Amino acid sequence: MEDSNHVFTKEQLNTILNTAINQTLGAVDKNNVFDRTIGHDKITGVAGDVIEQSVLGYPADSYQKPDLIVDGVEVELKTTGIRKSKKNSNQYEAKEPMSITAVSPESIVNENFETSNFWHKLEHLLLVYYLYDSEKRIVASEYANFPIKGYDFHEFNDDEIEILKNDWTIVNNYIQELQALHETPEDFYPTISSKLRPNLMMIDTAPKWPHRPRFRLKRAAVTTLVQQYFGEHLESLDADLNSFAKIDQQLNHFTQEYQNKTIKELLYLFNIPIKLGRTGDVAKSVTEQIVTHMFGATSHKISNIKLFKEIGLIGKTITQTASGNRTEDTKLLSIDFTEWLDSDKSFEESSLYNYFNETQFLFIIFEEPSTKSKLLDNKFKGFKRLSFTEDFINNIVQSTWKDTRKTIFENKLVETTRRNNKGKIIVNKNGVISTEINLPKAATHQVFLRGTGSDSSNKPIEINGIKMYRQYVWIKGASLVALLNNISYI
């Protein structure tokens, strides 16, 4: 029997939610949901409870049923935090992945996708977005200050449904395989997340066993939903690429067709204008533009293509010598010190872990004829797709996370003056003395921190009284070469 408290028309919900937009969660909390945060600083889920109980006005319950009935259709309500993008303050991004439903090995093997609990939860969504508007750690009661920014009655398109179906089927087939091969398959359930992660496009499973995991929409997929809702245009591909296997097949075709062609030849082939800089060469970014054109797109960057953005596939160009060596370090992501300095946050809860766990890299590999060659003369060799292993994440990456936090928490952060080989103080062009911070460096860490800024007098980050550039996570070129040498060309 339907609960009348959960039944709405879409028109009613539009009226209710339009009134709530740009109001804070505290302002719309007419039923005093925030009262339960008093004395409970770490309580979770308060934003969703406010939307359910104070905005939509139905009581809390724990029944396994749809959140809403909207014009006779079952709709799942998801209250989702967004934050301003570090790369572009005019854009929003998802605060975290979106939990969907439990991964239940006992029952999933008896389901098919169309009738699965997984698809039942995703088929019709009402996403309510609030802005997590804080640069520092907050307690639960402070969610009251966060504004509601929008809502979206979302349904996935046919291409996305095929991706979600393929992802779910990969998980389902693997669990069936474990149950068929092993007398005690539960002993092997801990491999579900690690084994399948490189093959899943829009979803993952977390946490790891022995904690019962849940299906999640990857943060990249949620960010794509968010940015499209707020008006960002992303280019769609005509090709039917609903699995990494199909993407790899297409990339292999490109390699066979274009291998050993120079960048200059490829620019002519795809009718991309050759724009020479002051050095008489093209910018490195043209290599990514070449790849988008291989896919029939017009965008300059892979991240502007909807499919690649929502599956978290990032394009990186590698230029190596004929012997396969490469020395250039690669910048990966900016650091959000708000969470790095949250003593209660575990590594597996961090955006650093999520980035390395979720992101896949498409390395576009070129070979330079000599160290003096122009970029235009470099030859295309092929593609390698890299998904970081759990061992790399839990050892190499986590050591950087731990060492950074330890240095700061134990008040050992130090700024020192940089000197040249003769011991003379280095002074920047603007007259400011050059300094360095004792955060993890390439000399000691494969994954390290490096500050970036356009002006040495502008240091926007301050920790323990020390001002510094905005910090980024990098990976050493030598480490990247070692990882890629273990991967075959697609």
pLDDT digits (tens, 9 = 90+) for 10-27: 999 999 999 999 999 999
**66 band by pLDDT with thresholds 50, 70 and 90:** low
Torsion sign (Cα): 214, 219, 220, 222 = positive
Give the Cα-Cα-Cα angle 449, 85, 137 (nearest 5 degrees). Answer: 70
Average pLDDT for residues 290-309, to the nearest whole number? 93
> Residue 368 above 80 pLDDT?
yes
> Residue 149 above 60 pLDDT?
yes
Tens digits of per-residue pLDDT, 67-97? 899 999 999 999 999 998 877 778 999 998 9
- Residue 386, beta-bridge partner list: 361
Tokens of 51: 């939307």
Computed over every residue of the chain, the mean pLDDT equals 89
Average pLDDT for residues 122-133, to the nearest whole number? 96
Average pLDDT for residues 210-239, to the nearest whole number? 91
- What angle, 0 to 180 degrees and rounded to 10, lies between the N-to-C axes of helices 219-229 and 351-358? 100
Q: Are 362 and 489 in contact (CB under 8 A)?
A: no
The lowest-confidence range among 1-5, 113-117, 399-403 is 1-5
Class of domain 4-229: alpha beta
Average pLDDT for residues 172-181, to the nearest whole number? 95
Residue 156 and residue 242: Cα distance in Å, rounded? 13
Average pLDDT for residues 238-249, to the nearest whole number? 90
Residue 1: its pLDDT value, please?
Answer: 41
Residue 145: its pLDDT value, please?
Answer: 96
Give the Cα-Cα-Cα angle 437, 440, 445 (nearest 5 degrees). Answer: 150
Nearest by Cα to 147 from 134, 136, 138, 135: 134
Cα 393 versus chain centre, distance: 15
**478 band by pLDDT with thresholds 50, 70 and 90:** confident
Torsion sign (Cα): 61, 62, 66, 72 = negative
The lowest-confidence range among 51-65, 287-301, 344-358 is 51-65
> Residue 164 above 70 pLDDT?
yes
List CB contacts of 152: < 8 A, sequence separation 6 or more.
125, 126, 127, 129, 225, 229
